[in-house]
Structure 1
Amino acid sequence: MATPVWLSIPFAGLLLCIALFPIMKADWWEEHKALVVAFWSVLTLILFTMVFGPAASLETAVDCLFNDYVTFIVLLFGLYCVSGNITFTGDLAGSPAVNVGLLAIGTLLSSCIGTTGSSMLMIRPVIRMNSWRRRRAHIMIFFIFLISNIGGCLTPVGDPPLLMGFMHGVSFFWSLHLFPVMLLNMAVLLFIFYHIDMKEYRADVADGRKPDISKPGTELKIGGGHNIIFLIAIVAAVVLSGTLSNYPMFQNADGSAAGVPLPGGKVFPWASVIEIVIILISALLSFVTTNREVRRKNHFTWGAIEEVATLFIGIFITMQPALLLLKEVGPQLGLNHPAQMFWATGILSSFLDNTPTYLVFLTTAGTLDFTQGMMTTLGIVPANMLMAISCGAVFMGAITYIGNAPNFMVKSMSDENGIAMPSFFGYLKWSVKYLVPVFLLDTVIFFL
């Protein structure tokens, strides 16, 4: 049975609430956001049951909660905990040159420990080094553009869509083909950022603000540095989960994933169970082995992770009909050119989970009967087509706050630290002004 378009109304309703209520009813939203999320989530399940029946609704809900949301939030929780136990202190002050350097380092780091890991590791140093400044929102916006999204394109570790490609036959180091695209985007965005930051920096200095340092740029200390081991362990757990599922001992006789039986006929794969256990143990050991003074210096609280956990459970549930609709219509969209794949994958990844969106269009490309390119389990996909799908899924997650997991976390942590981040539509205005022209440049140079 085809999925009716109107089943996506709760998803649109939740997105509008996330976008509008913080502007129109900020205090009310802070107090009642959980009820709003619950309303749209329950409405989705009721409408889904009316169309597909109770069994299908239960199966979809259980699969979404365990195989999507639980693995997502546990990973985010683990990285949030471990990164909160690492502190950078010293005499570096947030000048335009220093900020460009921090963003560049974080962007390159994202392909090594993932966009979420790099975002959680770098956000506190960036906030702290710029704490003397009043005009800081633009720093965090470009932080999301570069570290939370674009930087994750070089390895399957960098972003979940590329890990999904690796699990379907794309070689581990193939993503290095995307380096020229990432380098161009880094260069253009950092150039733009430098000039914006210089203007705001001079305005802050003109207001009489200056960093409280005695020996500028001479000292940088790391506290809780041993937590890097736990950070690496979490990244390794994600990669391990993606590879274990391909081994026969983690599969049933029919090739499906073996795991813990769930209501509705689904299973929670053993590979995911192992991943979660490693992440939670790493988070626990991080807290046990780190002096709480480190967390105090980081102003560590649970507010940001609580907000993300609350909002994203609703997003994951309400977007299920939209994902089903995409899977049904994807192959009929007539997309057979890299530029089309780049924008179709990217625009949908801005609002939907970029991992299933990537898989839908990779599957679509694999059915187009190409005879040359990357041999995947879904068919042969030409290199330029695979580049377009990969870049679209990874890069354009930066267009909205909900486009990629770390985006909203960075916003929440910035708000928590006194940085007045723009609203949903305010941020969208920034991305349309600065990101979309860069993506058009990508299209002309790499995908036409």
Structure 2
Amino acid sequence: MNASSLDRTFRKDVAALVIPLVGNSFSLVNTLMVGRLGDAAIAVVAAAGQVGFMLSMILSGVYGMNAFITQYDGGRDQASVRKAFGLMLLSGTAVTLTLVAAAFLFRKPLLLAFVHDPDAAAYGMPYLTVLLAVYAVNAVKDAYGGALGAIGRAKLTLVVGFAAMAVNVALDYALIYGHFGFEPLGIVGAAWSTLVSSIVGAAAFVGWVYARKLPFNVSPREILAVDFAFAKRVYAKTLPLVFHEGLWSLGNMLYAAAFGYMGVSALAAFQLARTFNGYFMMGVFGFAYAANVMIGRKLGQENAGEAIRYARTFTKWTVLIALAVGAASAAASPWIVRLFGRASAEVRTDFEHILFIQSGVMLAYFLNNLWIVGLFRAGGDNAYTMKLILVTTWLIALPLVFAGACLLHWPVELVYIMFALEEVSKACIGYFRYRSNRWANSLVRPGLSS
């Protein structure tokens, strides 16, 4: 394929994958609605959310098996696509149920680790209980949704995402504040609305797959008929990713614990900042996902050269988008803070300062997401990313954050700069891996690499 033809194909595939995924994120709505309940509500949701965040990150590690699905699909091996999906669904469900059960038993100690206030922890217990049910449902929803995206069926995720989130927004309005004849439930109402919307999303994905007889319409017998030799090879590449996500999410829980140690206001500002960081990063989430699918297909077709060329193009675009988004984030900061008029003056001031800090390191956030999720994961380079997290999170950023928060009693802004050093150091070190091309490996034909 000549360069001009490859560029046309590249642009077409990016448009098909990125546009749907960019529109499929509405977590900001929940934060805005809960934010009207005040500092304590934001802090409690942040604390409970850390538990759910760790569960979801470990599960996303399990769902790194989507790299196999993408490469097998690129190589037209549909039998192996079904085997990989069955193994992923079985593994994800088993891991989720185990972790949800453990979190349920230790709900109160988990909340107290972040919010050092027994009354606030008691306030958050019902919210966390319902939220754990959400993650159990999401084990199925995310398996089917992620697998569909892995073979390029991203438009379906857009449709289901809009439908589920429309339900979520309507129920948030009804249940949090007591509209349409419902009793006001506060933050528990937000949890129930999320649970119902997750069930709607899961039912839509599963129903569509089986009604249309798509590649993932596996039977319970197929799911339980594990090919152990196949599973061993898949787990060899996937388990480092599970450890990577587990270590990273545990590190993020500890970050939240450090900010919680500084007080409810500090934790609330930290939560708001991370939520809006995710909102501004929507521009790269779709890019990283598209990169993962498109590069994974090329690697599955034994075409490492085109995969590397795609990686270079994605990186150039990501730099441009990151610079634009960083500038937009900084410019919009004063107006964003005004959305939370019921938060305390301390929270709003800290939040605005942190938004400026985030804007300055937006390029590092974008490149890390693209390289780790889009490139390295596509080639199964998960052992490297696990080592990267060990260094940048556990040896650099976490010690500095805890020293600043607990020993030196620095202001929130300075502690947040220590937190941001994780992304900066990760991008600096990850650049050399990206340039080495050692991540461009075939998963479906072991031993083949660039």
TM-score past 0.5 threshold? no
Q: Give TM-score, length-normalised by structure 1.
A: 0.28
Bigger share in strand: 1
Higher share in helix: 2
